[in-house]
Amino acid sequence: MQKRKLGNSGLEVSALGLGCMSMTSAYGPAADKQEMIELLRRAVELGVTLFDTAEAYGPFVNEELVGEALAPVRNQVVISTKFGFDIAPNTGERRGGVNSRPEHVRAVAEASLGRLKTDVIDLFFQHRVDLTVPIEDVAGAVKRLIEEGKVKHFGLSEAGANTIRRAHAVQPVTAVQSEYSLWWRGPEDEILPTLEALGIGFVPFSPLGAGFLTGNINENTKFDNSDFRSMVPRFAPDALKANMALVDLVRQVATRKRATPAQIALAWLLAQKPWIVPIPGTTKRHRLEENLGAIPAELTPADLQEIDVVASAIKLQGARLPESALNMTGL
């Protein structure tokens, strides 16, 4: 497995990580727990070292799953988790909105350590920016946790460039996590240049466009009510139909390269910067193995230019998130 360093932090992880959210929530009913434990351990066997979870996934049950699965190999892996939503640390009650008050950040860290069955959180992300709490206070709270040995690295998720700079000035930010793929290239405008200038790594979530870029979704696909995609504008039938042109492009390149669309979509991301580490999620072993096949599927400069030229002419439709969720991002 190829390794990559997240910016200048020195934190080295596998070139592809594993997003664990879908194992317990968001894409429909939770998967079988034992099967997910086996999947997580198989990922370790295949060389994956970065595993991404959050207290909000469930809430709590995803961290518990990851903690149980990775406990036997804890010294071989890097676990990232997140704070920032207003969830009661002990009961899991969702109180709505965000909460990054320093005392809450500490409470979440303490609770996450227990669920993850570990004595240190490798990478602690603020899940969403809390506009009621100065980012300097948030960074300071994580800085104290790092000084106490409870956290190793600080991260931000879906934060804007100015927020990243302000936080980084208080406590160096190791990585920023935001959506990024051929289907959503928003980070290219300000975020990627900011990260490059500051020496911060980038961890794209939804690198396969929540499944869209795999080619297994079309305008006739029906999503369960418990699947968040049922509420996302870009997954509405008309938008999907219009956006299929992008999938057609990826599929054409995949055919030529003797790869799958998912592998090409991930290979494209890996080719953008050497400090980018995508975290595709899955609940299926064969998809895990397919995704990891993206690492050797290198794209030439000519391939990348072709993709950019054709993709730039495609008019994509539909917002990437519902309006209420977009209002909680800095992008």
How do the domains of the chain map onto residue ranges?
A: 3-326
pTM comes to 0.97
**pLDDT score for 59:** 95
**pLDDT score for 116:** 98
Catalytic residue positions, numbered: 57
CATH classification code of 3-326: 3.20.20.100
The Cα–Cα gap between 133 and 136 comes to 8
Q: Are strands 3-5 and 12-14 parallel, antiparallel or unpaired?
A: antiparallel
pLDDT interval class at 64 (50, 70, 90): very high
pLDDT digits (tens, 9 = 90+) for 216-232: 999 999 999 999 999 99
Contacts of 196 (CB under 8 A, 6+ apart): 273, 275
Q: Which of 294, 323, 211, 243 is nearest to 2 (CA)?
A: 294
The Cα–Cα gap between 212 and 196 comes to 28
Is the predicted pLDDT of residue 84 greater than 90, yes or no? yes
CB 166 within 8 A of CB 135: yes
Percent pLDDT > 70 in the chain is 100
Q: Which of 32, 13, 12, 16 is nearest to 24 (CA)?
A: 32
Is the predicted pLDDT of residue 89 greater than 90, yes or no? no
Residue 6's Cα: distance from chain center in Å?
Answer: 14
pLDDT interval class at 121 (50, 70, 90): very high
Note the maximum CA span of the chain. Answer: 54
SS3 256: helix
Is the predicted pLDDT of residue 196 greater than 90, yes or no? yes
Mean of per-residue pLDDT scores for the chain: 96
SS3 157: strand
What phi, psi does 319 have (nearest 5°)?
-70, 150
Q: Which of 305, 213, 282 is nearest to 16 (CA)?
A: 282
Mean pLDDT of 137-165: 98
